[in-house]
Copies of this chain bind each other. A is one copy, B any other.
Amino acid sequence: MPHMLNVTARQELISKILDTLMIVVEDARFDFEEDGLTVRVVDSSHVAMIKLTVDAAAFDGWELDAKKIGLEMKKIREVTTLGGSGDLIEISHQDGQDFTMSLGKIVRNLRPLDNATMASPPSLPKLDLPCKIIMNGAELGQALKAAKQVGDLVNFSIDESSFKVHVRNNTDSVNISFDKDEMDELVCDGAARSQYSLTYLEPLSRRFGPSDKVTIQFGENFPLAMNFTFEDGAGEVDYFLAPRVESDY
């Protein structure tokens, strides 16, 4: 019997999923499983990697046999523009057939991408990162926006008492310092500094609301790991970004 899938989601949930994934890629394989959705993507230069999961409970309908479906996200986005944030979008698929999205009376069918020819979703790194902070997402977003005004690479530095965001170009610099007591948590044994591309970080600055929390982990010339949730914790994003080390120049 062919595997079937019938899922219903509010337009705003789908929009949030796309807002995050489309920072890094245009196409993605959506892994629908019994207890929820998982999407893992990596950009073509293997610098930024995202694992996004959404519990089945965040959806308004969730009946399916597990399946993995490759999709062009700009087409999903088109359907979301036909409705408002609270409108329901019904998604259905049967093996070998089109992927179908319904919003009100609109039925959009699209051919899934061929999983065999798509790049495999990335394996997530097991990282043991020495420093960790938990901070306000909107404050981080404002810092990343300010950083992008001065350059394309941002320096994150940390020690026992503060986390700093810093960018310098020939004439200008921007510095943002968060003291330990201005954040929800700061755990770091020794000083560390690392540099990351704002190309993949700055778009996140528009992603966070005033009460969102973000967890950041990194170390000296180590990858950056960010974690944040949405939909009252039913959705979760793990974001990994390779460091830009000096020998890259």
Chain A positions within 8 Å of B, measured between CB atoms, are 75, 78-79, 81-82, 98, 104-111, 139, 142-143, 145-146, 149-150, 171-178, 182
Q: Is the CB of B105 within 8 A of A149?
A: no
Q: Is the CB of A174 within 8 A of B143?
A: no
Shortest CB distance A11–B (Å): 13
Q: Which residue of B lies closest to A111 (CB)?
A: B171
Q: Is the CB of B176 within 8 A of A109?
A: no
Q: Which residues of B contact A139 (CB under 8 A)?
A: 104-105
**What is the bound-complex CA distance between A111 and B173, given in angstroms?**
9
Q: Is the CB of B105 within 8 A of A176?
A: yes
**What is the bound-complex CA distance between A139 and B105, given in angstroms?**
8
Q: Which residues of B contact A110 (CB under 8 A)?
A: 171-172
Q: Which residues of B contact A82 (CB under 8 A)?
A: 142, 145-146
Q: Which residues of B contact A150 (CB under 8 A)?
A: 108
State the majority secondary structure of interface residues on A.
mixed
Q: Which residues of B contact A79 (CB under 8 A)?
A: 146, 149
**What is the bound-complex CA distance between A75 and B174, given in angstroms?**
12
Q: Which residues of B contact A175 (CB under 8 A)?
A: 107, 109
Contacts A78-B149, A149-B78 given; indicate if A174 touches B142 (C-beta within 8 A): no
Given contact pairs A105-B143, A108-B150, A111-B172, a sample of 9 additional A-B residue pairs in the complex whose CB atoms are under 8 Å apart: A104-B139, A104-B142, A105-B176, A106-B146, A108-B172, A108-B174, A109-B173, A109-B174, A110-B172
Q: Which residues of B contact A104 (CB under 8 A)?
A: 139, 142
Q: Which residues of B contact A145 (CB under 8 A)?
A: 81-82
Q: Which residues of B contact A109 (CB under 8 A)?
A: 172-175
**What is the bound-complex CA distance between A174 and B98, given in angstroms?**
11
Shortest CB distance A137–B (Å): 14
